[in-house]
Chains A and B, each alone.
Chain A
Amino acid sequence: MADETRSTVSESSSSGDRPDRSERRPSSRPGGPGGGREGGGGAGRKYFRRKKVCKFCVEKIEAINYKDIRLLAQFVAESGRIVPRRLTGVCTPHQRRLSLAIKQARNIALLPFSGRAA
């Protein structure tokens, strides 16, 4: 019924349309199904799970240096990848500076590009 209103291009892939649309929507929904964190006992799963706060804003850490790898390692996964901010709760400007610092640290062999940090 709803498919008829859609354009003729997507007629052939009507079944594949639904997952397509949800992917194109910006990921404003934190967590989501299968995100992994049961904050409020599963009560408000669709909306904000837990009001995760940005660690840098709370502790008023101004400068994120590539040299303090203990701080940076908290935001790096086991595989060496940078953890997305929807999992760590970091705010955007800090996430940008953090990822820049992590990349600088990787370049100078303080953090690995991939694999477990020795």
Chain B
Amino acid sequence: MNRTYELMFIVRPDMAEEDQDKLISTLETAVASSSGQVKSVERMGKRRLAYAVRKFHDGIYILLTVEGGGGLIHELERRLRVTEPVIKFLTVRIDEEQKRLDKIKAIKDAKRKAAAPAPTAETAGEAPAATA
């Protein structure tokens, strides 16, 4: 039940700072109530859009990383759809990708340790045991 999602949404450019905070805290409470966890909130600031969305040419990007079940995302997206200042959103599931990257990294680290000279031989003995 620990799926990790990245939710990026665009807010209209004339939205005030405190309104953004209010929106983010609303989403955070929604996450907490569905027994999820907010990993991080990143405000990417105002950017120029590649095409006009609802007649806006700029937008404020906000990135939210959450951990939780599938129903959580359903709830968050429902809220975003209803919120008027939000003009676009995109959810990406990242736990599978993260698993793949960690696996590659683990293989790389194990290889590096195995190729290292004798003094680090004990750590080479540790690494396969840790990954096993």
Contacts and interface: CB of A to CB of B under 8 A. Distances in A.
Most chain A Cβ neighbours within 10 Å, of B59, B88, B92: B92
A92 B10 CA distance: 32
B101 A62 contact: yes
Given A112-B51, A118-B50, A107 B90 contact: yes
A98 interface: no
A15 B47 CA distance: 55
A109 B51 contact: yes
A113 interface: yes
A82 interface: no
B53 interface: yes
A109 B92 contact: no
A117 B50 CA distance: 6
B67 to A, nearest CB: 18
Interface in A63-118: 63, 66-67, 104, 106-113, 115, 117-118
Given A117-B50, A118-B48, A118-B50, A109 B97 contact: no
B104 interface: yes
B97 to A, nearest CB: 7
Contacts of B90: 104, 107-108
Interface residues of A, number: 16
B121 interface: no
B101 to A, nearest CB: 6
B10 A109 contact: yes
A115 B50 CA distance: 9
B92 A106 contact: no
Nearest to A108: B90
Given A108-B90, A112-B51, 10 more contacts: A66-B92, A67-B8, A106-B50, A108-B8, A109-B49, A109-B53, A110-B50, A113-B51, A117-B50, A118-B48
7 contacts: A63-B97, A63-B101, A109-B53, A112-B51, A113-B50, A113-B51, A118-B49
